[in-house]
Amino acid sequence: MLSNGALGAIATLSLLVQTPGLAILVGRLMSGLNRPSALKPRTSRVLDLASVTVVVPTLNEAQRLQPCLDGLMRQGYEVREILIVDSQSQDGTPDLVRAAQSRDPRLRLVEDDLLPPGWVGRPWALHTGFRHSSPESTWILGLDADTLPQPGLVASLVQTAQQDHLDILSLSPRFVLKFPGEWWLQPSLLMTLIYRFGASKIVEPEPARILANGQCLLIRRSLLEEINGYCSAQTSFCDDVTLVRHGARWGARVSFRDGSPVLKVRMYEGARETWREWGRSLDLKDATATAQLWGDLWFLWAVQGFPLLGTIFFGLAVMVVPEPFPTLIWALGLNGLLLGIRWLMTAAIAPVYDWQMGQGKGSFSGLFWLSPLADSLSVWRITLSSFQRPNQWRGRVYGRSPEF
């Protein structure tokens, strides 16, 4: 058992490190009281006719592309064209797209050139789609192949962007989970973003703190022309955030909204893939200054990664020390408070999960409420990823850095 002096030192250190984090967290949560409401499906308007080019990058997506195509073909007449930019898929993805073209003439298959040196695959495909898009389109909408666009998505995006005079609008989706490991781990990883960036605003004021989701990203075409397409994000593994922050520095009005009523996504198959694929981009290091990256890691450990461990440690200490001293009790209270806030935040994000699809309505969904128990693991994953550049992504090899 540690001596009282050692326990006192640990408790004091905990208070010094975590109290500023609590103050920042409360400030970010309070700002959420004024967050914009979630986007709702809207009816198409004639004045928006053929104003949007949709670009969907694909690489071996035959197993999950069809729901995305079905959702896009149900969109209204804002959509001028739907460009599926394929990067030499070997699983029949191009054939699937060609078959769908007979049902909707807006669909067009574009096969991109070989990946140039210095480019990451996804921004290169998006850049290719932008170059092949009609100059008559006012907007470019990038969508991932794993998304499930709901009726009224594009109309809602365009009308919201016009209403709030936005140049860039990105949406968070409703997540579709199936397997037990996903229900436990994925909400914890998602929470690392909520802790760092807080609630969305009508217009994001700080370019360095902007969050974006490339699964659904609407950009004014004239802005893309000004910033030379997706070139600013060509080397980035978080190309969505890199591009949007670059646009904001050019003066673009940017917003990130809750799109769960109009967009669903089935991202990864199981906890292992979630850990490997999503975990190595969540750090956002390619779009973040080093000092900010270190600050975010401190903050995550202080308010998300340590509180469960701290509550257990200080709770046991209070039980075994004959006369617990004030700093020990305060440290226990601080960590218990942070843990309580975390469970309240779990309840707050429950509506962004689909409880009907897949196995979500069964016993696996109960693991969602235990996701705070994965927080130390999730923050550790972000820490590992912060110091490593991916060497594989969607089947492509980029370098020799170790993988986790």
Both 160 and 253 in one domain: the answer is yes
Better pLDDT: 5 or 1: 5
- CATH number for the domain that contains residue 81: 3.90.550.10
Query: Which one of 239, 260, 284 terminates a domain?
Result: 284
Question: Could you tell me if residue 162 is inside a domain?
Answer: yes
Q: Which amino acid is located at 88 in the chain?
A: Q
Question: Could you tell me if residue 91 is inside a domain?
Answer: yes
User: Average model confidence (pLDDT) for the chain?
Assistant: 92
Both 158 and 22 in one domain: the answer is no
Residue 385 is part of which domain span? 4-32+290-390
Both 234 and 94 in one domain: the answer is yes
Is the pLDDT at 233 greater than 90? The verdict is yes
What percentage of the chain reaches a pLDDT higher than 90? 82
Both 140 and 95 in one domain: the answer is yes
Both 249 and 295 in one domain: the answer is no
Number of domains in the chain: 2
Both 145 and 10 in one domain: the answer is no
Both 150 and 275 in one domain: the answer is yes
Both 226 and 346 in one domain: the answer is no
Both 82 and 217 in one domain: the answer is yes
Query: Which one of 284, 300, 319 terminates a domain?
Result: 284
Both 115 and 222 in one domain: the answer is yes
Is the pLDDT at 395 greater than 90? The verdict is no
Model pLDDT, residue 279: 85
Question: Could you tell me if residue 205 is inside a domain?
Answer: no
Model pLDDT, residue 403: 38
Both 151 and 237 in one domain: the answer is yes
Is pTM beyond 0.75 here?
Answer: yes
Both 158 and 239 in one domain: the answer is yes
Query: Which one of 249, 284, 319 terminates a domain?
Result: 284
